[in-house]
Structure 1
Amino acid sequence: MTAQDPHTCPDGYEVSTDPHRIDAARVHAWLSTDSYWARGISRDRQDRAIAESLNFGLYEQVSGTQVAYARVVTDTATFAWLCDVYVDRAVRGKNLGTALIAAVDAHLAPLGLRRVMLATADAHGLYAKFGFRRPESTDIWMIKARE
């Protein structure tokens, strides 16, 4: 299943939500070694996260090689959490991150979710293009984190 109109993806690339296309080993390598938010995550834990989420892969059309990834945790009715957004360093600068987030946004829009959230230390400008903003009041938000 293609997650977006192919015209919004740069030539030669496509986004898919087909879970069978996800290159779990590659996603694990990216996140466990090159991300600031999941560095050191075990392969088992990452595989469980993939299995229980809505996954978006961005692929080179000719080779089928996965070059980017995003994951959404959602109840598909009221809430979604966008996470693990990663673009391979070898293809950064080609607007693939924008294409990936556009695909996520287009896929979630018909669900009528009340909130789509994310937490990120970077790329705020990218997410702002899709309506993400800082919460007006942080007084209501709480978090329980386990290291």
Structure 2
Amino acid sequence: MNTSITISNDIRALDLEIIHDYLANQSYWAQGRTMAQVQQSLEHSMCFGAYVNGELIAFARVITDTVVFAYLLDVFVLENHQGKGVGKQLLSHILNHEKLQTVNWLLRTNDAAALYEKFGFQVIDAPETYLRKSALI
């Protein structure tokens, strides 16, 4: 059965409970993130949801100025929808979004580099030129 997937960046359509549960309890990068933190992060990002019959099955958000820079993060596909091309559809939609055509992209992943490379992402040439400052939480 071929199920139709709808992708939207309407923040009002997002299911905050599903997003929080996945990030705080199932992801390796956002363990312990509070509901308030998730909600605030969504309010300050371009958010994208993938839906089947109105139910959220995948999510990603982009922090961006829409001109020069975009950081892709918190990307996930719910387990029972993985391996069906949902992530590829979601990434394609995001990368082709009209407001994100001039930006330079950055992301970080421990386990999905091969997927992102299919969309033109490359390992940073000189990682030693990038600096970071972590939050003191």
TM band (smaller chain)? over 0.9
What residue is the counterpart of 1:3 in the other structure? none
How many Å separate the matches in 1 of 2:100 and 2:93? Answer: 12
Equivalent position SS for 2:32: coil
The answer to whether the aligner puts 1:136 opposite 2:132 as a matched pair is no
**Matched residue pairs, number?**
135
Which sections of structure 2, spanning at least 5 residues, go unmatched? none
Which letter maps to 2:56? Q
- Superposition pairs for residues 103-142 of structure 1, below 5 Å? 103-107=93-97, 111-113=101-103, 115-142=104-131
Q: Which amino acid aligns with 1:73?
A: I
Contact 2:47–2:59 (Cα < 8 Å) also in 1: yes
- Residues 1:102 and 1:13: Cα distance change in structure 2 (over 3 Å): same
Code of the aligned partner of 1:116 = W
Judged with a 3 Å threshold, the aligned counterparts in structure 2 of structure 1 residues 17 and 137 are, in CA distance, closer, same or farther, namely: same
Counterpart AA for 2:63:
V
Give the partner amino acid of 1:121.
N
Local SS of the residue matching 1:86: strand
What code does the residue aligned with 2:109 have?
A: T
Q: Give the residue type in structure 1 aligned to 2:58.
A: A
Measured after TM superposition, the shift of residue 123 of structure 1 is: 1.0
Q: Is 1:89 aligned with 2:79?
A: yes
Distance 1:43 1:110, change over 3 A: closer
1:72 aligns with 2:62: yes
* Cα RMSD after superposing both structures: 1.4
Q: Is the 8 A contact 2:66 2:100 kept in 1?
A: no
TM-score of the two chains, using structure 1 as the length reference: 0.87
Q: How big is the shift at 1:109?
A: 7.0
Question: Residue 8 of structure 2 contacts residue 50 of structure 2 at CA under 8 Å; is this kept in 1?
Answer: yes
Q: Please give the TM-score of this superposition, normalised by the length of structure 2.
A: 0.94
1:145 aligns with 2:134: yes
1:35 to 9, 15, 27: 27
Q: Does 1:57 align with 2:49?
A: yes
Q: Where does structure 1 lack aligned partners over 5 or more consecutive residues?
A: 1-9
Structure 1 residues 109 and 83: CA distance shift in structure 2, 3 A: same
Question: How far apart in 2 are the matches of 1:59 and 1:26?
Answer: 12
Aligned equivalents of 2:99 and 2:121: distance in 1?
Answer: 13
Ranges of 4+ aligned residues in structure 1 off by more than 4 Å: none
